[in-house]
Chain A
Amino acid sequence: EVQLVESGGGLVQPGGSLRLSCAASGFTFRIYAMTWVRQAPGKGLEWVSAISGTGFTTYYADSVKGRFTISRDNSNNTVYLEMNSLRAGDTALYFCARDRNPSDHWGQGILVTVSS
């Protein structure tokens, strides 16, 4: 069974940093791209970032480019999202998902709140 479990969220002040992790199990992690999608409270889905199976290719939404970094550790079946210079507008539930276009399995999400 495919499982994706996000962790690392919480409350952070504007300008601060946070690193999200997504632990994957139940599939051959290294052959799948991985994606992060977020959803602000009461709002729609927003694609954030994606990374290829090898980790060599990364993609970012314009809204996070230069502030967020996606990476992966295929030996530990984990994908990360390093978030810097956080803003109030980054407050959202962050989902980790397997593959891209389409993403066929999703984690339950982790809440990130940016507030002073």
Chain B
Amino acid sequence: KQEVTQIPAALSVPEGENLVLNCSFTDSAIYNLQWFRQDPGKGLTSLLLIQSSQREQTSGRLNASLDKSSGRSTLYIAASQPGDSATYLCAVSDSGGGADGLTFGKGTHLIIQP
């Protein structure tokens, strides 16, 4: 059974710093990996999706990498802003490729200090 771990569980950094969030998974036979953002009391918003054949995806100040063989992904946030404060979750899709086969990590709660 796939297990997804996100470390650290919480992170607080000053505004302007670059930071890295980590996601690891136990079964490397994945179809893709997604990073989501969740604001307090809200649903999840998709940030980036990386196919298993890809190494990274970029969107604005966000860059997600994938190393399938080692079972790791990172989300890099450049020049952090207070508006980046949220919980960030990664989710791995199993080799069947269905979104019904997604396994979520428990998230990293990020606080950007003004």
Q: Do these two chains interact? A: no
Chain B contacts to A: CB under 8 angstroms: none
